[in-house]
Amino acid sequence: MRGDVTVSVRSILLAGLVGLALVTAYLLGGHGDAVTPAASAAPGDPAAKADRRMMSMVGSGEASAVPDQISFTLSATARRLDLDDALAASSATTRRVLVELAKHGVEKPDVQTTGLAMNPEYEYHAYAPPTLVGYRVTQRASVKVDELAKGGPAISAAVEVGGNGVRVSGIRLGVDDPDALLKRARDAAVESATAKAEQYAAATGQSLGDVVSIREVGRPTQPHRQSLVFNRELAAFDAAKALPIRAGKDNLAVRIQVVWSFK
């Protein structure tokens, strides 16, 4: 009785092993050639994208423009025995200069106050405490002239009206619309990258497909604001002549990297 039971169990185990071997053989060889994961993936799956042939190309673009505006820092200083008097004198000089600048196209939004300094001044003695001799008040404002041709006459007029209490510094030439300049440089960079990519594709008997990605490499080089030095003595010697200003060109450069797929 025990022998019959033993033979039955062994038969069952043997049949199970044979069935497992048949299933394994079917899974491994029953469907012919093996299919790669990228080929069996759906079109939108990342695995399918990884298997696509692509081309990457870097392009550079530049755009230039002649500065069309000028900006500078205006300082009005007054020294008086009383602080209130010094502040009033500095404010009066500032208003007088701004009225003159308005005649040269400088509007209120083009003037921004940037600083106010009120400092006591002392006379120092060798063997006695310092003596307060007055107060010096300086008001500073940034001024922008939208038309470059009016910049020289505006600066000369400000110095002439303000007298010794006025100083002009930090003269800069700039472009009014740098975003338009940047757009032109980007367009040129895309054209450059596309032309090179099409040349390489044609040389290998292929054609470009869709753009997969595009990005800027590094930061665009912004236009350099040109600096000028104002010679106050020259302006005072011949105030009737406007300050001559000659602007060069500002350049802006952009580098991009574009990736295409092949058709």
Q: Residue 12's CB: how many other CB atoms inside 10 A?
A: 10
Least confident range from 27-41, 134-148, 153-167, 215-229: namely 27-41
Note the pTM of the prediction, 2 decimals. Answer: 0.58
Give residue-wise pLDDT tens across range 73-90.
999 999 999 999 999 999
Residue with structure tokens 């701004």?
98
Q: In the prediction, which pLDDT does 47 show?
A: 40
- List the single range of 100-104, 116-120, 172-176, 238-242 with lowest mean pLDDT: 238-242
* Token reading at 200: 């390489």
Find all residues with CB under 8 Å of 224, minimum gap 6, and list them. Answer: 250, 251
> What dihedral do alpha carbons 89, 93, 96, 98 form, nearest 10°?
-130
Chain-centre distance of CA 219, in angstroms? Answer: 7
67 within 8 A of 148, measured Cβ to Cβ:
yes
Count of alpha carbons within 13 Å of 15, Cβ hemisphere only?
A: 6
What average pLDDT does the structure give for the chain? Answer: 78
The confidence score (pLDDT) of residue 213 equals 94
Q: Model confidence over 209-229: pLDDT tens digits?
A: 999 999 998 877 655 554 554
